[in-house]
A and B are shown apart, each in its own frame.
Chain A
């Protein structure tokens, strides 16, 4: 039975809470409100899939799940040259990017909520402290870890290490690093009515066993079961409307037949991931809000972050078969500390990563050809790999804007993603490459390869939280400064990017937002 078969449905004239997007933020918020008896409609641009639909085939899965609606890029980041139309690899489907995420579930470190105070002001960076503290979010982190089934929390044992992990672990130990199979929202034993991980290794292609947490088969069905949640797949939101008092009151979207629809809304929560969310606010400009919704600060779209990222792959004399098993269950956190003696502020995580043969060819060294490239590919089954992910600097000039020269199928200007690495990002990446190579060299690597950032899977900060309205777009519960019934509910809220993978924090923020929003709705204060 499909998720939406027996769900309660609402009419377009019902004044419901409308959530745009069904991923980590939107899906968690949707269930949170539904559990409180608050009528909610989720408008999701993508299709509804089931776990049976997921494909053990990288390119076919990419066509099935990836957000492929046009975007453009600019700036000096290498993606603008190598993947000019694909700045991000995120999902267009019910469940959002929780379909294809790798499952790494790390809490931010307390100081990372105070990035400006801790790091000091950096030239050409727009650092800011979050308007909330680690202590305020801690109970929601704990709730999220339990709901998502994060290993090494809640008496959940770690995942067993695969071949790729064995190589990282052995190298790490030689260098005095700690290295374990991580805090992963992937069942190591059956839990919460879901199977345990079968080490299939197609984590990025959707977990066919449902062992990896995704809103698709957790939060969303639980919300639908309350009778207060309707999910409308293939509903592509074009703009948000407001009344003459400056409160949002409706969402205009195109349904699966391409017909324009208007859903009345008492509250709108935008959770379209960090490129579509600001795009939507900008595309919703009106005579009352000529700069777009919630944009009196001019910060909508700005401070876009994608983490410092890169990969190191290494070849060995004996086989590894790194693609067997979990894509990312392996982590070294020692370098995630803040230690400016290394030549940069903030830190980075080192996480195992594997790509299949097809994606290795595409991403190992985009554009490369000849023997230098093929020599590495020849060693594919003798390769181990890791992903480096660290805090990148928010910059006003790294931003999502509307590209009025390029329109989507609905005639709306597409998003342009502009990004330039900050010197801090470059220094951190250099350090991370060297440490990654050192780990593999410690266990006899024949060759190491530095891989540039992939189309961004972590997209953050483009409608950031701020204490003062002039510094950001929303407050500490994601409520926009300008419009009291307009909320930001995805990773766009992030004031800074921290060194950790974002999903656990997005879920924790959504749990907190749903609680506060529920209270405000009951008290009539929103």
Chain B
């Protein structure tokens, strides 16, 4: 395939697109719309979808929106501006499709997982895992989902619930202390 045709396939408005699954979830409350999209510069839409699903197997959070996993794909897509990384990712997708007998995405979840386990020693797997361990959990949507207040705490929790736990007996005063004046 000629270079210019390959570029055309990669760059012609490839994106991940999805809709939020949980209309009452913390992410839905933050999101401006129920439909989301994540443009891709290097990976094709199919490659992006496969990697997203793979990431869902590596770090399975059943009620965590695809939109949050899309951040992982975005960061891998950015890293793929390095030609070696792009080759490793695209070959990794080709490899897992081949292992699945053609296409990995249409398999059942359990069948998909067997192949994920089988490649868990690969550089492809480790690149996704080590990227996801940062990207998946380091964004506002994830913070909302998991109940972490992040930078909202910058002003201090002194009057924002630092000691609002009420399901255990309070510490003895001598063990604790008084709030500042």
Contacts and interface: CB of A to CB of B under 8 A. Distances in A.
A361 B60 CA distance: 13
B161 A361 contact: no
Given A200-B154, A374-B60, A158 B137 contact: no
B168 interface: yes
Interface residues of B, number: 45
Contact of B150 (A56, A159, A187): A56
B157 A358 contact: no
A336 to B, nearest CB: 17
Most chain A CB within a 10 A radius of its CB, from B148, B169, B170: B148
A174 B150 CA distance: 32
A377 B151 CA distance: 19
A166 B178 CA distance: 14
Contacts of B129: 367, 369
A181 B181 contact: no
Given A56-B151, A169-B171, A199 B176 contact: no
Nearest to B174: A180
Contacts of A196: 180-181
Contact of B171 (A157, A166, A188): A166
B175 A370 contact: no
B176 A200 contact: no
Given A160-B178, A188-B178, A357-B148, A200 B156 contact: yes
A115 B162 CA distance: 40
B18 interface: no
A188 B143 contact: no
Contact of A59 (B138, B158, B161, B165): B138
Contact of A166 (B137, B138, B153, B168): B168
B65 to A, nearest CB: 14
B164 interface: yes
A58 B137 CA distance: 11
B114 interface: no
B61 A198 contact: no
B155 interface: yes
Contacts of B6: none
B126 to A, nearest CB: 9
Given A163-B165, A361-B133, A362-B134, A151 B177 contact: yes
Contacts of B84: none
Nearest to B179: A160
B4 to A, nearest CB: 38
A167 B171 CA distance: 9
A8 B178 CA distance: 42
A358 B177 contact: no
Given A161-B176, A188-B178, A198-B155, A369 B162 contact: no
Most chain A CB within a 10 A radius of its CB, from B147, B153, B180: B180
Interface in A327-381: 356-358, 360-362, 367, 369-371, 373-374, 377-378, 380-381
A199 B175 contact: no
Interface string A135-170: 000000000000000010000011111110111011
Given A158-B176, A357-B137, 14 more contacts: A56-B154, A160-B178, A161-B171, A163-B164, A170-B168, A170-B169, A190-B180, A201-B162, A318-B165, A319-B165, A325-B162, A325-B163, A357-B146, A358-B138
15 contacts: A57-B150, A160-B162, A161-B175, A163-B161, A166-B170, A169-B171, A190-B180, A195-B180, A198-B156, A200-B155, A201-B157, A325-B157, A357-B142, A361-B136, A361-B138
Sorted from nearest, which 8 A-B pairs have the closest CB atoms? A198-B156, A381-B147, A196-B180, A158-B177, A325-B162, A357-B148, A56-B154, A361-B137
